[in-house]
Structure 1
């Protein structure tokens, strides 16, 4: 199983069905916080929904199409991240992430994204990582900005989150 220890208190693990209950509880506790930026929360109503999502991601992982990881901080599941899509033809990974509200601002995600860049280069031989964030989502945008990603531009009306359209800021990091 995929597992990386980042520090004494932080590790990432391949998301597996055994994490479904804990991940659902985290999602449910943070539903209002996450709903600002993520359009899929109404589709996750139970641990079974989370388990089904994880199983789909495992199939995509087996095909080399995606990598969905669970983030553990002090042995507690606190969020997820990963390559939501791997474009094999162009060697590009599209990276996404979220943390429970109580774990924002601790530097967790910057460390996780840094580790995922290494994984992208070492295991997937990607040449580029893209991160797209809703323009008003300052906390999410701070990650690629802090890590030295290049701001490529703004995609207008890139995503509808419930009843609101958001522009996306596009960031890229070239590997090698």
Structure 2
């Protein structure tokens, strides 16, 4: 019998599923082939030079399942059978029921297909309905208009700005803090 993997089918093209160790090569290739695209907004891609570097990131995503009490915090975004990117919570504050720093990215060849829009909605539903969160937060580079458009589309409110929060190779970038309450989303 094969491994059981939690999978959430969104539609005929897009689904979310837990990462497994079998994803390492595909995950590494996605990062490697999208490095220039991803470097516009994240610096961690520089640390992925060989497959072993991606392995550490993958292990953290898998281990987060244990830390969250059996609920996945990170998902592989699957588009037509391929890993297209990732989405998930960097942390879950169980005391205050907050999904902190909802993060997401797609490989370059998967852009502009509405994939992340569908994944984002599914993860918000998961956070509020399955995890029982009271709030979901996202921290997004102020200049990243396409990334900011997702929380704005789903009713997240801009709650603040962290000035010069991140060094992006040749300049500092502010981060916008977005938040959405369960009562706002579910009403």
User: TM-score, normalized by length of structure 2?
Assistant: 0.88
Q: Does 1:135 align with 2:135?
A: no
Q: Which consecutive residues of structure 2, in runs of 5 or more, have no partner in the other structure? A: none
Partner Cα distance (1:141, 1:128) in 2: 17
Q: Does 1:58 align with 2:74?
A: no
Alignment partner of 1:72 out of 74, 78, 81 = 78
Count matched residues: 176
SS of corresponding position for 1:60: helix
Alignment partner of 2:25 out of 16, 21, 27 = 21
Residues 98-157 of structure 1 show CA distances to partners (whole Å, capped at 9, x for unaligned) of 011222222111111111111112332111111111011111011111122111122111
Alignment partner of 1:100 out of 102, 107, 119 = 107
Matched with 2:94 is 88
Deviation >6 Å, runs of 4+: none
Q: Indicate conservation of the 8 Å contact 2:64/2:74, yes or no.
A: no
Give the CA RMSD over aligned residues: 1.5
Q: Indicate conservation of the 8 Å contact 1:110/1:147, yes or no.
A: no
Q: Which consecutive residues of structure 1, in runs of 5 or more, have no partner in the other structure? A: none
Partner Cα distance (1:102, 1:116) in 2: 22
User: TM-score, normalized by length of structure 1?
Assistant: 0.93
